Amino acid sequence: MKSKVVILNPPSSDASYINRDLMGGMGVHVKFGKNFFAKMLSKLKANYVRIPVMQLVYAASILEKEGCSVLVIDAPNEDKKLDYVLKRIQEFGPEYVVMAVSSSCIIFERDAVAAGIKEMLPQTKIFVVGDMITEMPELLLPHFDVGIIGELEHCIGELCDGKDPELISGLLVNKGTEVKKTENKLRLSAKEQDELPFPAWHLFPYKRYRYYPMVGVDPVATIQASRGCPYGCGYCPYTKNQGRPWRARSAKSIFQEMERNVQKYGFRGFFFRDPLFTTDKQRVEKLCSLLIKSDLNVQFAFETRPELLTKELIDLLSKAGCSAINFGVEDINPEILKKISRKPVDGPLILDVITYCEDKGIRTSCFFILGLPGATKKTTEENIMFSKKLFASQIEYKVATPYPGTDLYHMAKENKWLLSESLDMLTGYTSSMQVSPELPPEYLEEKADKAFKEFYFHPKYILREIMRGRVWKNIYFALK
């Protein structure tokens, strides 16, 4: 195999930053709010968090190992625009382009990026990854050649070796006027994940990658240590990409990847992209023990649920270098959570875990969703009040978004809650549905804007950041 392949994370449709690795592959367009404070926070978040698309990282690593000539263009993280991207692709002259797509920018990605490639290089085949293609196959037409359903590791080598896509499982194939779906493929097992090549970071602009302020050092490498989520919350697209069965790499494999990343590339921090990092506490304990015994001296962050942590495990994580943990709280009202198939967690437990982490020096970030089914103005106020009570290091307020394929999307369609079918509304911060007359879209967006402002510009929060020595770095990112 000696094919020339471009691995492409395309630019955004506008000047804002887009992270296509988040929301289970749907992507997050970082532009929330209309007032000055919200726009400032948007800019900060866009400059704080710069991470690659993990599917593209594995694609590049597999293809290079199999002998392909690989060019990576990570446009959002390199701050490159469309004209630059098209020029680089034309100069390289690839036979194949493996490209990530998102929910809110897919029309631009298809009709501007892919169309531009086809105009220059009509024989080049474009393979796309991203849950929007899986859930809305018609979007493949007319410029994308193949859509990869879910995980790409099983098929990317065969595709870039010229095998007929119709003979490969787990694909959507552009047939000109229709899309053909091939037979389903199995998801990667734990053993197969351990056998994947470690990321070929030299192909990527890895020195630009960071996860600030949750990981206070850079560069930061992303790691996929497990896949799947057994909880299957109705608003979350992660299970559409990775499935519900939880499949995890061994602690030894994860540590070896971290060690290699430090020694070969100089990474100082890590961000685990697992939906639930602490599902198996014993595996996490083994990894922590390996890190403590080593001299890597790294920081790392991950996401989990509050009830999947104990104080003993938090203590061990702190010793191993854990600098931050993300928690999806979403809503504090158990009846609202039940409506969207999320297992409720008691408020006092959440508060206890967040407080203990912060006391141990582990920063916490809590995500809340406004406007879920069953929500009212009263429950919205209660949700925001609880979020402030937590006093986490970061709070993020999102507006309920019916991503295609999720249970929430089907509920919205069935109950006629959708205000717009426009895909550019699927940002995570824009209200595209209304679950009751009491919660119009402008109310939810204004409440989210106000909550952001009241939390991040509160004197108590600013004083804490000053005490932590983070203010000057925050100002640097704000002015960048």
- Mean pLDDT per block of 10 residues along the chain (480 residues) reads 93 88 83 66 78 97 97 96 98 98 94 98 97 93 96 95 96 97 91 96 97 94 96 89 91 98 98 96 98 96 97 98 97 97 96 97 97 98 97 94 94 95 86 95 94 91 83 58
What is the Cα 331 distance to its own chain's centre?
20
User: What is the pLDDT, as a whole number, of residue 26?
Assistant: 87
Q: Which distant-in-sequence residues (6+ apart) come within 8 Å of 143 by Cβ?
A: 110, 111, 114, 115, 117, 118, 126
**What's the start-to-end Cα distance of the chain, in Å?**
42
User: What is the pLDDT, as a whole number, of residue 471?
Assistant: 60
User: Do residues 219 and 267 touch, judged by C-beta distance below 8 A?
Assistant: yes
Distance CA 206, CA 196 (A): 19
The number of helices, as runs of H, and strands, as runs of E, in the chain is 20, 19
List strand residue ranges (DSSP E) for 215-341, in order: 220-223, 226-227, 247-248, 269-272, 299-304, 322-330
User: What is the pLDDT, as a whole number, of residue 205?
Assistant: 98
List strand residue ranges (DSSP E) for 12-154, in order: 17-19, 28-30, 49-50, 69-74, 96-100, 125-129, 146-148
Q: Which distant-in-sequence residues (6+ apart) come within 8 Å of 381 by Cβ?
A: none
Half-sphere exposure of 405 (CA within 13 A, CB side): 24
User: What is the pLDDT, as a whole number, of residue 101?
Assistant: 96
CA dihedral 81, 42, 325, 188 (to 10 degrees): -30
DSSP, collapsed to helix, strand or coil, labels residue 378 as: helix
